[in-house]
Chains A and B, each alone.
Chain A
Amino acid sequence: MRKLILFLVAINLQTTSAQLSKLLNRDQYMAQIQLVDEFFDRFNNIEVRPDVSNEITKDRKSNILLLFDLALFNSKKDPLFGEAEQFAEKVVSDSVTISYSDTAWYAKAVCRSYFMKQAVDFTLYLKVEERGKDMYKWVITKAEGNVLSLKSEKKHKQQMIMPDDHETNFMSLFRMTDETSEYITDFTSSRFELDQTSVFLAMVKMGLLKIEYVKDLQFFFNQVPGYQFSIKYVERKNMNAGWLINSFKKR
């Protein structure tokens, strides 16, 4: 019980007054998880939150719970907090560790871009790939977004290659690309599945799509048996900030 009270006191710490005369709050800075590598170290129990007492941090389950964005929970009675405890127990019981070189994690980056002078957002999925002994790189595994679907907002009924066009040497194909290029996907077979990643590559290659910046970034992890969880950078002026678990679900 004492342990639980200590834990709740620790997770509710908002600010410290260690450096009242200075603008920078060192205790807060050291407690926050500013690097993804730091998240790995805290998850793997290599590093613990420095502002929390040894009595709490010697328990790995508590350390895992300290990695959650506490804004997810209304109180300790919140059923979601109970689920988070179950998650933490699973991590501990299965001695789960996560590593940069794992294939079971990936990044989801929402990119702000401009297409035909209009701001558009699309998502890139990236994962770590080995490229030699002890050498890795991030690679794009998938791209998705409305701009890559090539769908037209305007509806039509009879934009098609006419049934007798074979008799005219398909001369109407010039109209398809000249006059009805906006509906180009409607000219394909109903069984055709568009590959948005290829569309992304083609658009970039043609100079039609340029990424301005990454608008939102999350990392998803599948290393905990039966669970998927994600982390996101949380901006907040207290100890519970930086790269934190912002979602978890049973698989």
Chain B
Amino acid sequence: MITRNYKIGFIVLTILFAIANTVDAQNSAIEEKIKSRAAHKVGLLGEYIGTIADKSQGDLRTRLHFCDKALSLFIGKGGPYEEDGVERKGVVMEVTSVNRKNADGSPYVNRRLMKNYFNGLANLRYDAVSIETTDVADIKVSNLHRVADNLFVCTCFFEQAFTGYKDGRPVYKDITRKAVKCYVIQDEIEPELIEEGGDRYEYLVLLGDVRAIDTVRVK
């Protein structure tokens, strides 16, 4: 009798263990899917930055259109937004320069609203620019943290190399590293729309504040 109970207990434990493993594997797959989606969104941002800055990509009006497209990647579309009842002014780009210092020797830090940053980018003094961005597959994504039932956050990290040209010659080069806050909103899919074996949720990624970690002048 005791042996039989042991056997049943062992089978139940094995089943529970298998279920737990399956759930873990599913969660891990979902997390990877979300991270990949966040990296893709950040990759798009990198592409837009390149287009906005490069005068050879079109006139100012065309490139300002890309500013709007880039802003649509962000929470509040770059404008004011509300977070848990608190009015936020809009997402910002914080630029910390390694080479440029304040008078007291502290690092120079400049913070601008994203829309102002993009406008500045569209009006650079170079004839043309080229921007090289980390491949989407190489964008580093932090762990996903749940902050509410349907909301997660994570941070994406990538590098961008900038070259500014005048009269066809490169006159300025730098490398900037950017860390982008990502908000991942989980939405339940209507049961009839779920594909067989598919996820019952869809995930919308919106970008938040960006920190440009340093700017290394390349000679």
Most chain B CB neighbours (cut-off 10 Å) among A22, A29, A38:
A29
- Residues of chain A with a CB closer than 8 A to B146's CB: 134-135
A: interface residue count bin: 20 to 34
A212–B142 touching, CB < 8 Å: no
Docked-complex contact A34 and B96, CB < 8 angstroms: no
Instruction: Find chain B residues with CB under 8 A from A29 CB.
Output: 134, 138, 159
A112–B159 touching, CB < 8 Å: no
For the complex, is B157 an interface residue (Cβ under 8 Å from A)? yes
Cβ contacts under 8 Å, A24 to chain B: 132, 134, 159-161, 175
* Residues on B with beta carbons closer than 8 Å to the beta carbon of A22: 132, 161
Q: State in angstroms the CA–CA spacing of A142 and B175 once bound together.
A: 36
B179 cross-chain contacts in A, Cβ below 8 A: 34
The answer to whether B40 has its CB under 8 Å from any CB of chain A is no
A237 cross-chain contacts in B, Cβ below 8 A = 216
How far is A160 from B109 in the complex, measured between Cα atoms in Å? 43
Interface string of A213-234 (1 = CB under 8 A from B): 1010000000000000000010
- A84-142 residues with Cβ-Cβ distance < 8 A to B are 100, 112, 119, 134-137
Q: Contact check, B138 vs A35: say whether CB atoms are below 8 A apart.
A: no
Interface flag for B86 (CB, 8 Å): no
Q: Does A26 contact B (CB under 8 A)?
A: yes
Residue pair B157, A213 in contact (C-beta under 8 Å): no
Residues of A contacting B140 with CB < 8 Å?
34-35, 38
Q: Which of B111-151 touch A at CB < 8 Å?
A: 111, 132, 134-135, 138, 140, 142-143, 145-147
The CA of A201 and the CA of B16, in the complex, are separated in Å by: 49
Known: A24-B161, A34-B177, A215-B106. A235 touches B138 (CB 8 A): no
Compute how far the CA of A57 lies from the CA of B105 in the bound complex, rounded to whole angstroms: 40
Q: Does A30 lie at the interface of the complex (its beta carbon under 8 Å from any beta carbon of B)? A: yes
Q: What residues of chain A have their CB less than 8 Å away from a CB belonging to chain B? A: 22-24, 26, 29-30, 34-38, 100, 112, 119, 134-137, 212-213, 215, 233, 235, 237
